[in-house]
């Protein structure tokens, strides 16, 4: 069967293609359209997926959308009516938005792809999250927990999944917490209050939290309380996301926590105001962790299963994930590389294939590389046109040279094979540097990433060496496979790993198995032979405000516009020197 | 003739700061579109020029943003309350104005950029003149204007180079395209306003009884866990089926 999964229209739209139960292609629309967090109908991603497989839309047996538009409409309308008459502006906005396009997905998909409407199917949003988490994990039976801002009505679900290779699959979500009570919305509200963009700045809140003390936990607990049955409920007097589009927190929220931060204001930890914001971030982070850990613990007691699959945007919180692994009783925690909405494209297709159509289970390849591959000849052409010479080397020599470059303090743009699905660079579209000093971190922030100083950079380490440098609990190496957990850097290595050690002594590491990205693994080995430390700083290959690079043309333009010293695309290496002076270009113009 | 209007618009420091922030966002967006254009063109000289242009836009974004921050820092009271933004009366550069770079040839893009830079330069010159008492913001506009002048020149020169025969046609087509986009903006704004009025009337006239029902239903909605119905052997319930 050929099944296409689609997620769209909220944030991070994507498409994924399954053929006979196995993934063939999956990519986020932003990587194709080059608009960060592109939420538009992912026509570019769909075209690429179909083109990659050599299929015409007619050949698809089903197209599965990742949520039920009517249920979502029901939730939005009920919520707006429930906050009558304060929701008058939000009502007009939401109706224009939903009635304009989002409600008619069957027709839109059918007309965009030219397929019969009967081929268009729908899963529930959290079923797609659950499938993306469980059916991509190497486990036969696991508890499942999904948490995000909101899908249709559900904001958090728990259940379990069971499958047998070649046999049937069941995914049973037992209970849910419904909108407006949402951990994702709680965290996003604090994200907005702290002056960061919602659906983008949540990472920043997590990074900021390490600079603060959780001394406002009591205040956060006034905005959310545990219910007697072990769930939670928001005190809606502190929130406005359910009734307005103007802002997500209320005046009472501001009375409780003080004035919000303007997005344009820098965060200065030397000021009382800067420390207050950090303390608020630390407090909401602590509350989020406590709730998730407690829910996971209860789920473990109920299921008595060793494995937990975690899905939904909240699963991107690596600090919380690490605590769940340590404290909930589960032995292994699986978080897919794209636990957010982009991964729902894959989840929706998998759910339809295994559960709805009852097709036999197939083992899912345990890597995130489902996007377009690089065309190395592009680098040769582009460099040649700019008077530069790309150098073609055999693998071994290239890796030794790159290790030398990094050891010499150079920053390397690294492109290899197919693009990752998900928000993290996991070894195929990375910027790599030596991890030893804060100077390189500052240089990356200043000359390449153009981002806040308080945000940490992540390390990548061969999985077999991870425990030497990082304090990993049992199962930690698995969680670190896709950079989904934050763990302490061992005390004795912190000084030598200052570039990737966060202020609280932790790092969001990637523990890399050789089979997942052999060339990067080899590079880590080569670098280790030079420095004694086979660890590299690994950050996504993009500039501020841009999606991760896709093809060589984007990698090359990023290389040209930033302080990256060396660009590697496959077996080609390009070193920077100024091609022509700007004055020369102006003259030429 | 519009100078008194612009003076009024730019007089309020809070509005001035927010307009500068919005200009910064548009410049940054325009820069990203130009990067995309550089990535797509097969002409090496254009690629370098687009990248240089993108870098200018990025710098402009920084200049506008930093000046906005300074204004708010020096006038803390200016950030309080909502201020009429006068977006329509004093627009900034429109970037590539939703032009899909990947669908355009270099000629069409250059013609569009040329006109766009020209219009932006005209507007920025007017805004600069409306700020006699704010030399720092004037200086930002002056710096940006110098670059806009270069952008106007290079886009025109490159258009002549790559489309010597069709340059006038392309300029006219771009001019009509800008007019069409202006009309679309106006039509969308009008349609938005009309639909907003209709939906608001609907909200207050038709929805109140349903609002009562919804409020009652929400009160009855239990907080905490909600069980998800399970049917036969752990398979998902009816609502779970695609």
User: Which residues between 19 and 78 in chain A have a beta carbon less than 8 angstroms from any beta carbon of chain B?
Assistant: 34-35, 62, 64, 78
| Percent of chain A with pLDDT strictly greater than 70 | 98
- Say what the pLDDT of residue A166 is: 83
Q: Which residues of A touch B217 (CB under 8 A)?
A: 78, 82
- Say what the pLDDT of residue B239 is: 47
Task: Check whether residue A568 and residue A541 sit in a common domain.
Answer: yes
Task: Check whether residue A343 and residue A387 sit in a common domain.
Answer: no
For A439, the token pair is 């100077």
A175 interfacial to chain B (CB closer than 8 Å): yes
Determine, yes or no, domain membership for A168.
no
| Percent of chain B with pLDDT strictly greater than 70 | 85
Q: Which residue of A has its CA nearest to B55?
A: A561
Which residues, 6 or more positions from A205, have their beta carbon under 8 angstroms from its beta carbon? A187, A190, A191, A194, A196, A281, A284, A285
pTM, 2 dp: 0.91
Task: Check whether residue A412 and residue A523 sit in a common domain.
Answer: yes
For A352, the token pair is 């339809």
Q: Report CA torsion sign: B32, B34, B36, B39.
A: negative
Tell me which residue in A121, A175, A230 faces B226 most closely, judged by beta carbons. A175
Q: Please judge whether A231 and B203 are an interchain contact, meaning their C-beta atoms are less than 8 angstroms apart.
A: no
β pairing state of A14-19 and A22-28: antiparallel
Task: Check whether residue A192 and residue A321 sit in a common domain.
Answer: yes
Whether A262 and A198 have beta carbons less than 8 Å apart is answered as: no
Q: Please judge whether B225 and A172 are an interchain contact, meaning their C-beta atoms are less than 8 angstroms apart.
A: no
- Number of domains within chain A: 3
CA distance A90 to chain B (A): 10
Q: At A242, which CATH number? A: 3.30.420.40
Which residues, 6 or more positions from B54, have their beta carbon under 8 angstroms from its beta carbon? A561, B31, B32, B34, B35, B38
* CA-based end-to-end distance of chain B: 62
Task: Check whether residue A132 and residue A193 sit in a common domain.
Answer: no
Q: At A423, which CATH number? A: 3.90.870.20
Q: Please judge whether B40 and A385 are an interchain contact, meaning their C-beta atoms are less than 8 angstroms apart.
A: no
Determine, yes or no, domain membership for B96.
yes
- Say what the pLDDT of residue B234 is: 41
Q: Where are the alpha helices (DSSP H) in A143-239?
A: 183-193, 202-209, 217-223
Nearest C-alpha neighbor of A327 from the set A475, A525, A132: A475
Using the predicted structure, report yes or no on whether residue B81 has a pLDDT greater than 70. Answer: no
Tell me which residue in B208, B226, B236 faces A171 most closely, judged by beta carbons. B236
Task: Check whether residue A491 and residue A359 sit in a common domain.
Answer: no
Nearest C-alpha neighbor of A95 from the set B200, B242, B210, B190: B200
Task: Check whether residue A413 and residue A306 sit in a common domain.
Answer: no
Whether A72 and A152 have beta carbons less than 8 Å apart is answered as: yes
Task: Check whether residue A360 and residue A376 sit in a common domain.
Answer: no
- Say what the pLDDT of residue B238 is: 41
Q: What is the mean pLDDT of chain A?
A: 94
Determine, yes or no, domain membership for A129.
yes
Task: Check whether residue A540 and residue A571 sit in a common domain.
Answer: yes
Determine, yes or no, domain membership for A173.
no
When pLDDT is cut at 50, 70 and 90, the band that residue B242 belongs to is very low
Q: Which residues of A touch B38 (CB under 8 A)?
A: 557
Mutation site, A4, A84, A578, interface B, largest B CB count within 10 A: A84
Tell me which residue in B47, B226, B230 faces A178 most closely, judged by beta carbons. B226
Burial A400-429 (b: 16+ CB within 10 A, else e): bbbbebbeeebbbbbbbbbbbbbbbbbbbb
Q: Which residues of A touch B154 (CB under 8 A)?
A: 586, 589
CA distance A350 to chain B (A): 12
When pLDDT is cut at 50, 70 and 90, the band that residue B85 belongs to is low
Phi, psi for residue A413 in degrees, rounded to 5: -90, 125
- Number of domains within chain B: 1
Q: What is the block-wise mean pLDDT of chain A (589 residues), using blocks of 10 residues?
A: 95 94 97 93 97 96 96 91 88 86 91 95 96 97 97 95 90 95 96 93 94 97 96 95 86 96 88 96 98 98 97 97 97 97 97 95 95 95 92 94 96 97 96 95 86 89 97 96 97 96 96 97 98 97 94 96 95 78 48
When pLDDT is cut at 50, 70 and 90, the band that residue B228 belongs to is very high
User: Which residues between 552 and 581 in chain A have a beta carbon less than 8 angstroms from any beta carbon of chain B?
Assistant: 553-554, 556-557, 560-561, 579-580
Tell me which residue in A78, A356, A560 faces B51 most closely, judged by beta carbons. A560
Q: Please judge whether A174 and B228 are an interchain contact, meaning their C-beta atoms are less than 8 angstroms apart.
A: yes
- Say what the pLDDT of residue A481 is: 97
CA distance B176 to chain A (A): 26
Distances (CA, A) of B171 to B98, B157, B164, B175, B182: 18, 12, 12, 6, 16
- Say what the pLDDT of residue A265 is: 84
Q: At B60, which CATH number? A: 1.20.1260.10
Determine, yes or no, domain membership for B54.
yes
Determine, yes or no, domain membership for A151.
no
Mutation site, B20, B35, B228, interface A, largest A CB count within 10 A: B228
Q: Which residue of A has its CA nearest to B162?
A: A589
When pLDDT is cut at 50, 70 and 90, the band that residue B10 belongs to is confident
Determine, yes or no, domain membership for B137.
yes
Determine, yes or no, domain membership for A310.
yes
Determine, yes or no, domain membership for B202.
no
Nearest C-alpha neighbor of A321 from the set A333, A312, A313, A336: A333
Mutation site, A73, A92, A151, interface B, largest B CB count within 10 A: A92
Task: Check whether residue A548 and residue A571 sit in a common domain.
Answer: yes
Distances (CA, A) of A356 to A5, A64, A122, A170, A351: 13, 11, 10, 10, 7
Cis ω on the peptide bond leading into residue A180 (within 30° of 0)? yes
Q: Please judge whether A174 and B68 are an interchain contact, meaning their C-beta atoms are less than 8 angstroms apart.
A: no
Task: Check whether residue A110 and residue A201 sit in a common domain.
Answer: no
Q: Please judge whether B158 and A589 are an interchain contact, meaning their C-beta atoms are less than 8 angstroms apart.
A: yes
- Say what the pLDDT of residue A230 is: 94
For B211, the token pair is 């609002």
Q: How many CB atoms lie within 10 A of CB A445?
A: 18
User: Which residues between 198 and 237 in chain A have a beta carbon less than 8 angstroms from any beta carbon of chain B?
Assistant: 227-233
CA distance A111 to chain B (A): 19
Task: Check whether residue A321 and residue A400 sit in a common domain.
Answer: no
CA distance A526 to chain B (A): 33
Question: B144-160 pLDDT, tens per residue?
Answer: 999 999 999 999 999 99
Q: Which residue of B has its CA nearest to A34?
A: B36
- Say what the pLDDT of residue B229 is: 85
Mutation site, B203, B212, B227, B229, interface A, largest A CB count within 10 A: B203
Question: A366-413 pLDDT, tens per residue?
Answer: 999 999 999 999 999 999 999 999 999 999 999 999 999 999 999 999
| Percent of chain B with pLDDT strictly greater than 90 | 53
Our measurement of the distance from residue B50's CA atom to the centroid of its chain's CA atoms, rounded to an integer in Å, reads: 20
Interface A:B, Cβ pairs < 8 A: 151
For A501, the token pair is 């050690």
Domain that holds residue A239: 183-333
Which residues, 6 or more positions from A241, have their beta carbon under 8 angstroms from its beta carbon? A180, A185, A188, A189, A248, A249
Determine, yes or no, domain membership for A394.
yes
The whole-angstrom separation of Cα A462 and Cα A466 is: 6
* DSSP per-residue codes, A300-337: HHHH--SEEEEESGGGG-HHHHHHHHHHSS-SEEE--S
Domain that holds residue B93: 3-186
């Amino acid at each position: 069967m050929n099944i296409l999964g689609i997620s769209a229209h909220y944030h991070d739209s994507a498409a994924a293609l399954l053929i006979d139960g196995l993934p063939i292609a999956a990519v986020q629309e932003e990587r194709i359209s080059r608009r960060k967090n592109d939420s538009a109908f992912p026509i570019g991603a769909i075209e690429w997926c179909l083109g990659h497989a050599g299929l015409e839309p007619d050949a698809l047996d089903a197209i599965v959308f990742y949520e039920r538009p009517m249920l979502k409409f029901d939730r939005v309308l009920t919520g707006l009516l429930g906050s009558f008459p304060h929701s008058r502006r939000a009502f007009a906005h939401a109706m224009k938005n939903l009635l304009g396009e989002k409600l008619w997905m069957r027709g839109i998909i059918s007309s965009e792809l030219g397929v019969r409407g009967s081929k268009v199917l729908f899963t529930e949003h959290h079923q797609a999250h659950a499938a993306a988490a469980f059916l991509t994990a190497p486990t036969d039976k696991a508890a499942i927990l999904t948490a995000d801002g909101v899908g249709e009505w559900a904001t958090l679900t728990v259940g379990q999944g069971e499958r047998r290779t070649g046999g049937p699959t069941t995914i049973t979500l037992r209970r849910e917490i419904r909108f407006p009570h949402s951990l994702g919305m709680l965290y996003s509200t604090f994200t907005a209050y702290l002056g960061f963009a919602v659906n983008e700045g949540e990472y920043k809140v997590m990074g900021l939290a390490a600079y603060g003390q959780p001394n406002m936990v009591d205040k956060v607990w006034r905005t959310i309380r545990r219910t007697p049955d072990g769930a939670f409920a928001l005190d809606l007097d502190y929130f406005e996301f359910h009734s307005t589009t103007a802002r997500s927190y209320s005046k009472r929220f501001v009375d409780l926590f003080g004035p919000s931060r303007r997005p344009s204001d820098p965060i200065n930890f030397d000021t009382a105001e800067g420390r207050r914001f950090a303390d608020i971030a630390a407090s909401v982070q602590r509350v989020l962790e406590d709730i998730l850990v407690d829910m996971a613990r209860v789920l473990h007691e109920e299921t008595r299963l060793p494995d937990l699959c975690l899905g939904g945007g909240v699963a991107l919180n690596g600090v919380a994930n690490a605590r769940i692994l340590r404290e909930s009783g589960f032995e292994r925690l699986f978080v897919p590389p794209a636990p957010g909405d982009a991964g729902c494209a894959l989840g929706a297709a998998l759910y339809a294939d295994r559960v709805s159509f009852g097709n036999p289970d197939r083992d899912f390849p345990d890597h995130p590389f489902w996007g377009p591959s690089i065309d190395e000849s592009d680098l040769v052409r582009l460099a040649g046109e700019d008077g530069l010479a790309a150098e073609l080397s055999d693998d071994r020599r290239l890796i030794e040279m790159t290790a030398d470059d990094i050891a010499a303090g150079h920053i390397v743009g690294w492109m290899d094979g197919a693009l990752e699905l998900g928000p993290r660079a996991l070894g195929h579209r990375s910027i790599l540097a030596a991890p030893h000093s804060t100077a390189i971190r500052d240089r990356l922030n200043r000359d390449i990433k153009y981002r806040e100083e308080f945000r940490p950079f992540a390390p990548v380490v061969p999985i077999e060496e991870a425990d030497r440098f990082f304090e990993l609990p049992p199962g930690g190496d698995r969680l670190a496979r896709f950079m989904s957990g934050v763990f302490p850097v061992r005390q004795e290595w912190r000084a030598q790993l200052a570039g990737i050690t966060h202020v609280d002594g932790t790092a969001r590491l990637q523990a890399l198995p050789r089979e997942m990205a052999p060339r990067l693994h080899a590079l880590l080995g080569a670098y280790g032979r030079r420095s004694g430390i086979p660890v590299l700083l690994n950050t996504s290959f993009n500039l501020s405000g841009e999606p991760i690079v896709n093809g060589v043309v984007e990698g090359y333009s990023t290389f040209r516009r930033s302080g990256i010293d060396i660009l590697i695309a496959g077996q080609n290496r390009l070193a920077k020197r100024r091609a022509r002076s700007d004055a020369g270009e102006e003259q030429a113009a | 003739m519009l100078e008194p209007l612009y003076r009024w618009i730019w007089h309020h420091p809070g509005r001035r700061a927010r307009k500068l922030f919005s200009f910064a966002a548009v410049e940054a967006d325009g820069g990203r579109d130009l990067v995309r254009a550089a990535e797509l063109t097969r002409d090496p000289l254009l690629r370098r020029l687009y990248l240089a242009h993108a870098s200018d836009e990025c710098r402009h974004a920084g200049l506008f943003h930093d000046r906005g921050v300074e204004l708010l820092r020096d006038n803390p009271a200016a950030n309080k309350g909502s201020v009429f933004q006068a977006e329509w009366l004093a627009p900034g550069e429109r970037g590539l104005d939703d032009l899909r770079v990947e669908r355009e040839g270099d000629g069409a893009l250059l013609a569009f950029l040329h006109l766009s830079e020209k219009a932006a330069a005209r507007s920025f010159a007017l805004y600069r003149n409306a700020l006699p008492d704010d030399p720092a913001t004037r200086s930002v506009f002056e710096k940006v204007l110098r670059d806009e002048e270069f952008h106007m020149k290079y886009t025109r020169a490159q258009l002549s180079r790559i489309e010597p025969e069709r340059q006038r046609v392309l300029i006219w087509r771009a001019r009509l395209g800008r007019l069409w986009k202006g009309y679309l903006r106006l039509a969308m704004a009008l349609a938005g306003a009309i639909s907003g009025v209709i939906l608001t009337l609907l909200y207050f006239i038709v929805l109140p009884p349903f609002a009562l029902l919804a409020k009652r239903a929400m009160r009855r909605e239990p907080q905490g866990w909600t069980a998800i119905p399970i049917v036969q052997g752990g398979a998902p319930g009816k609502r779970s089926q695609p």
